[in-house]
Amino acid sequence: MEILGTSLRVCVDDLEAAVGVYERLTGAEALRFERAGVSVAAVGAFLLMSGPESQLEVLRKVTATIAVKDVGEAHAVLSEVGAQIIAGPLDTPVGRNLLARHPDGSVFEYVDRGGAAG
């Protein structure tokens, strides 16, 4: 499985205020989207999230987002090493994702950027 990078997940109360800070820190412009009632801004290596506490409570349990070349391959490798697939693989507007609990109990989101299957 080829890992392309990671994003640090940060839950914030005020997304607009946080975006300005992280854009200045990283020198990158925020890419914004919304999913399941949560507003998200990807800024450099940071994934800023704001929304209802019930949604954020779930999101806080995910340690990081890991970009991979192919979520299908990640699924196979994760299964081989004894990870529990919690959700997915699922199509998203920009690719596919899955959530996995590693044998040590850590939970990670794996994403690929190869357009959603039609």
Question: What tens digit of pLDDT does each residue of 29-40 get?
Answer: 999 988 878 999
Question: Backbone phi, then psi, for 116, in 5-degree steps?
Answer: -65, 145
Distance (Å, rounded) from C-alpha 8 to C-alpha 64? Answer: 5
Q: What is the mean pLDDT of residues 100-116?
A: 86
Query: What CATH superfamily classification does 3-112 receive?
Result: 2,3-Dihydroxybiphenyl 1,2-Dioxygenase, domain 1 (3.10.180.10)
> Which letter does DSSP use for residue 30 in this model?
P
Q: Reply yes or no on whether the pLDDT at 53 is more than 80.
A: yes
For residue 116, what pLDDT band results from cuts at 50, 70 and 90? very low
